[in-house]
A = this chain, B = another copy of it.
Amino acid sequence: MRSMPIVTFLTDFGMNDAYVGVMKAVVLSRAPSAQLVDITHKVPPGRIVSGAFLLESAWPFFPADSIHLAVVDPGVGSSRRRIALEADGHYFVGPDNGLLSCALPEVSRPRRRPGDGYLAQRLTLPQGFKGVIIEPGNREDVSATFEGRDVFAPAAGHLASGGRLSDLGPLVNDIAALPAFRAPRSQDGVLRGVVLHVDHFGNAITDVAGSDLPNPCLVEVAGRSLELRRTYAESGGVCAIVSSAGRVEVAMPNGSAARDLGLAAGAEVNVRPIGWSR
């Protein structure tokens, strides 16, 4: 374990309340020298897919042994399990609702089918990955509404202080998993994508992988057909580019593509080889 173990935080708790600070207090009580890093607390409330997408875009950049505490949990207080995973040298702590499945490699996750959305399915943990069900020590102390404080932060603090995953509870074999964020291809060769996230700049980030693109191609979204550009700087107006995360993104330099085109998470995006005609 590192002398300053990294604990990251991703939630839909917002920044207006004391909830995030309280979770950090609980972590620091167990691991006083932890490096606490916020990924974001502005996941749209209850949107597990958005949370998983944002966590997936961040955690691989952290060094090994980092602990990622993630809570986007519309089912808090219900019977869904609380889990901790060890995956690729990283640790993940959160509700078993699909959020943490972004810890698994894309190839081991379910595949989305054209027309389907991102709904979690049960998935057996692939070899080399370990998971446990977190069993809170003292059930009396556990509130029904703030498991971030009472279950997840103590577990993250336990791991950050050098505690073992297996101390947290019994092994688990399967977890809730979201399909890999990768647009399926229709029989006609068209990639049938969706907008996963609209960022601060109004860029609409899709689940179309840059590496899946036919070349040349057209990106169809909101009734528009867009050509691919290489950078924001070379484009005027709304354009499509392959983003820093390797995904097709609908962008508008010095403006908001999402606002301009009326795009939100879930909007359909099709990528069509050029030359193909409907």
Contacts and interface: CB of A to CB of B under 8 A. Distances in A.
Interface of A: 2-4, 6, 8, 10, 12-22, 24-26, 28-29, 32-33, 35-42, 45-46, 54-55, 57-58, 61-63, 66, 74-78, 143-146, 149-150, 197, 199-201, 230-234, 241, 243-245, 249, 253-254
B4 A33 contact: yes
Contacts of A42: 15-16
Contacts of A75: 233
4 tightest A-B CB contacts, nearest first? A77-B231, A14-B200, A146-B244, A78-B233
Nearest to A25: B61
A28 B78 contact: no
Contacts of A78: 231, 233-234
27 contacts: A3-B33, A4-B32, A4-B33, A10-B21, A14-B201, A15-B15, A15-B41, A15-B42, A16-B40, A21-B38, A21-B39, A26-B61, A29-B62, A32-B63, A75-B233, A77-B230, A77-B231, A77-B232, A77-B233, A77-B234, A78-B233, A144-B231, A145-B231, A145-B232, A145-B241, A145-B243, A146-B245
Contact of A230 (B8, B144, B230): B144
Nearest to A234: B77
B76 A232 contact: yes
Contact of A16 (B19, B28, B199): B199
Contacts of A24: 37
A199 B19 CA distance: 10
A74 B253 contact: yes
Contacts of A230: 77, 144
A26 B39 CA distance: 13
Nearest to A202: B45
A33 B21 CA distance: 19
A20 B200 CA distance: 12
A13 to B, nearest CB: 6
Given A201-B45, A233-B76, A28 B35 contact: yes
A33 to B, nearest CB: 6
Contacts of A144: 230-232, 241, 244
Nearest to A246: B143
A234 B253 CA distance: 45
A18 B253 contact: no
A275 B232 CA distance: 53
Contacts of A199: 14, 16-17, 19
B253 A17 contact: no
A97 to B, nearest CB: 12
